[in-house]
Amino acid sequence: MTLKIFLDDKGFDCLKSSIPAGSPSKFIVGQAEYLNFFGSNTVISCDETEARNLLLYTGHCPTVIASINKALLSAGISLVRSLQ
C-alpha cells in the first residue's frame, strides 16, 4: 500500500536535513512531488516500512512526525507494532 505524506516547506526541509547521507530514504525524499495548495507543499509517496524509517530520522521534526502518523492512521495502520 502506498502512503501519501503531506508536508509544508518547513517540515520537508527538516526531514531532508535529518536523513543521513547514503540512506535509501534520501531517494524516496528526492522523488517527492511539489504542490501549491492549502499549506501542504510537498507529498512523499512511500510504503509503511519506509514511513516508519522516516519516523526514526525525524525525532526533532514534530510536524513531520504528525504527518507520518496521520498517513499511517488514514491507511488503517496501527502506530504501534506488536512484537509477537
Q: Which of 36, 84, 42, 34 is nearest to 63 (CA)?
A: 42
Per DSSP (E only), the strands in 17-62 are: 33-37, 40-46
* 34 in Cβ contact with 42 (< 8 Å): yes
d(C-alpha 44, C-alpha 3), whole Å:
8
Q: What is the pTM of this model?
A: 0.85
Structure confidence by residue, pLDDT tens digits, 36-61:
766 668 999 999 999 999 999 998 89
d(C-alpha 31, C-alpha 54), whole Å:
14
* DSSP H stretches of helix in the chain: 9-18, 25-30, 48-57, 62-74
Percentage of residues in the chain having pLDDT higher than 90: 68
